[in-house]
Amino acid sequence: MRPADVADPGLADAGRLRIEWSDRQMPVLADIRQRFERERPLEGWRISACLHVTAETANLMRTLAAGGADAVLCSSNPLSTQDDVAASLVTHFDIPTYAIKGEDRDSYYAHIAAALDHRPQVTMDDGADLVNELHTRRQELLDEVVGGTEETTTGVIRLRAMAKAGKLAYPIVAVNEALTKHLFDNRYGTGQSAIDGILRATNILFAGSTVVVGGYGWVGRGIATRAHGMGASVVVVEVDPIRALEAAMDGFRVMTAAEAARLGDVFISGTGNLNVWGRHHFPEMRDGAILANAGHFNDEFELGALEEQAQSSREVRPFTREYLMPDGRRIYVLADGRLVNLGAAEGHPAMVMDMSFANQALGLEWLREHLDELEPRVYGIPEGIDREVARLKLESMGVHIEPMTPEQKAYSESYESGT
């Protein structure tokens, strides 16, 4: 066995069952894995991946190995690791994995450093922490790196900022920009899994409660729609006028963070920005208010200010911390303000990660084929890959779609015919 750092290797058998369960719901990735086994499109590539260490990610790592890559894995969040999966990756799949659920900041960065010690030619990131470490503290490794992929909205924003500042050293494929990624993973994946995390942590009833959603991007939309479907009265807080208008016309109440602070039973933030609710809002919140973060980083709520304002705090249920305020009110923070879906639940279901990770695998293959033409900037997933992932997903669901007739195709490409 190669070097690794996981919580308990004894959990490996439980992890393998979880990986197999998720694999049954990832038919598109399984299909790609079979082809990769035959064609070995990633032969010899050393890959360092920094992703949430879940059963779904395990199936992606198996796919990279099937394609001939020598891949190692560390976690992209201190709280998202499934320890049994990490153990199985090391024990059964010979994938060096560095990840422990609940690790502190030092251990988190030590694990990124260990993944970088692999001297990657390719990076895979979810949030751009590994890429950032590589460009700041491990620049000596950059010469060997030829490309990378990025999974999430927050990471793509950071990478585009790096590219704009002329700091990005190699091309990166933005998996998040595939329609078959963000329209499904960010919307239906987070829409379900964030609520799953809140329910597992608290067991509250959504019906009849007021749920305030911060942000009306794809994540916010998914959460708002699902919360509404469960009978909650949904309020949206949004800074962008067009998105706010959409939220209003989708039937949600739209207001400022300060107005919403007084109304919410549950606050769910998925803005990708910081201090959406902070020091001025906590004194206004109701007794029993629950704060859950669905954005990549744990800074959407100003938790330092909450800690200063509170008299004391205690863990009242797993992943549920109660803050006692001087006036007797209690405010609850889930999963330490980290991604609630991965901290308090199991992340997005495999059925949706199937498409995200199919884009990851096919994005890597595309990167290898086009290395000579690429510059150090952020590239979207090519439309052909996106459509192929959708086609394969529909096929796996047994859904047949209508083909255009030759007459319709000609009509759709013409300009002559009118009234």
54 belongs to the binding site for ligand ADE (CB under 6 A): yes
Q: Whose Cβ is closer to ligand ADE: residue 59's or residue 210's?
A: 59
52 belongs to the binding site for ligand ADE (CB under 6 A): yes
Q: Whose Cβ is closer to ligand ADE: residue 188's or residue 252's?
A: 188
Q: Least distance (Å) from ligand ADE to the CB of residue 348?
A: 4
* Rounded Cα–Cα distance for residues 248 and 234 (Å): 11
Dump the DSSP string for 229-245. HTT-EEEEE-SSHHHHH
Q: Whose Cβ is closer to ligand ADE: residue 25's or residue 202's?
A: 25
Q: How many residues bind ligand ADE (CB under 6 A)?
A: 9
Q: Least distance (Å) from ligand ADE to the CB of residue 267?
A: 20
Binding flags for ligand ADE, 32-51, as an x/- string (CB under 6 A): -------------------x
Dump the DSSP string for 103-158. --HHHHHHHHHHHHTT--SEEEESSSHHHHHHHHT-GGGGGG--EEEE-SHHHHHH
Q: Whose Cβ is closer to ligand ADE: residue 187's or residue 348's?
A: 348
Give the chain's radius of gyration (CA, Å): 22
269 belongs to the binding site for ligand ADE (CB under 6 A): no
The H or E element containing residue 35 is: helix 27-39
Q: Whose Cβ is closer to ligand ADE: residue 181's or residue 281's?
A: 181
Q: Are 334 and 198 in contact (CB under 8 A)?
A: yes
Q: Least distance (Å) from ligand ADE to the CB of residue 252?
A: 24
Q: Which tokens in the block code for residue 185?
A: 């993973």
Q: Least distance (Å) from ligand ADE to the CB of residue 77?
A: 9
* Rounded Cα–Cα distance for residues 330 and 333 (Å): 10
Q: Which of 25, 48, 57, 293 binds ligand ADE (CB under 6 A)?
A: 57
Q: Least distance (Å) from ligand ADE to the CB of residue 130?
A: 14
Angle CA 376–379–385, to nearest 5: 140
Q: Least distance (Å) from ligand ADE to the CB of residue 158?
A: 17
Binding flags for ligand ADE, 147-166, as an x/- string (CB under 6 A): --------------------
Q: Are 186 and 192 in contact (CB under 8 A)?
A: no
Q: Which of 178, 198, 236, 353 binds ligand ADE (CB under 6 A)?
A: 353
> What phi, psi does 235 have (nearest 5°)?
-115, 140
Q: Which tokens in the block code for residue 292?
A: 């859950």
* Rounded Cα–Cα distance for residues 389 and 399 (Å): 14
321 belongs to the binding site for ligand ADE (CB under 6 A): no
Provide the 8-state DSSP code for 403: P
Please list, residue by residue across 24-43, b when 16 or more beta carbons sit within 10 angstroms of its beta carbon and e when fewer do: ebbbbbbbbbeebeeeebbe
Q: Whose Cβ is closer to ligand ADE: residue 59's or residue 233's?
A: 59
Q: Whose Cβ is closer to ligand ADE: residue 152's or residue 202's?
A: 152
Sign of the CA dihedral running 286, 292, 294, 298: positive
* Rounded Cα–Cα distance for residues 136 and 312 (Å): 38
Q: Whose Cβ is closer to ligand ADE: residue 310's or residue 352's?
A: 352
Q: Whose Cβ is closer to ligand ADE: residue 100's or residue 342's?
A: 342
Q: For residue 150, list its beta bridge partners.
A: 125, 174
Q: Least distance (Å) from ligand ADE to the CB of residue 140?
A: 30
Q: Which tokens in the block code for residue 208?
A: 């009849």
Q: Least distance (Å) from ligand ADE to the CB of residue 58?
A: 9
Nearest residue to the partner ligand ADE, using Cβ: 347
CB atoms inside a 10 Å sphere around CB 388 = 17
Going by DSSP bridges, is the β-strand pair 147-150/233-237 parallel, antiparallel, or unpaired?
unpaired
Binding flags for ligand ADE, 225-264, as an x/- string (CB under 6 A): ----------------------------------------
197 belongs to the binding site for ligand ADE (CB under 6 A): no
Binding flags for ligand ADE, 330-349, as an x/- string (CB under 6 A): ------------x----xx-
Query: Which amino acid appears at position 362 of this protein?
Result: L
Going by DSSP bridges, is the β-strand pair 70-75/46-51 parallel, antiparallel, or unpaired?
parallel
Q: Whose Cβ is closer to ligand ADE: residue 158's or residue 281's?
A: 158
Contact set with ligand ADE (CB under 6 A):
51-52, 54, 56-57, 342, 347-348, 353
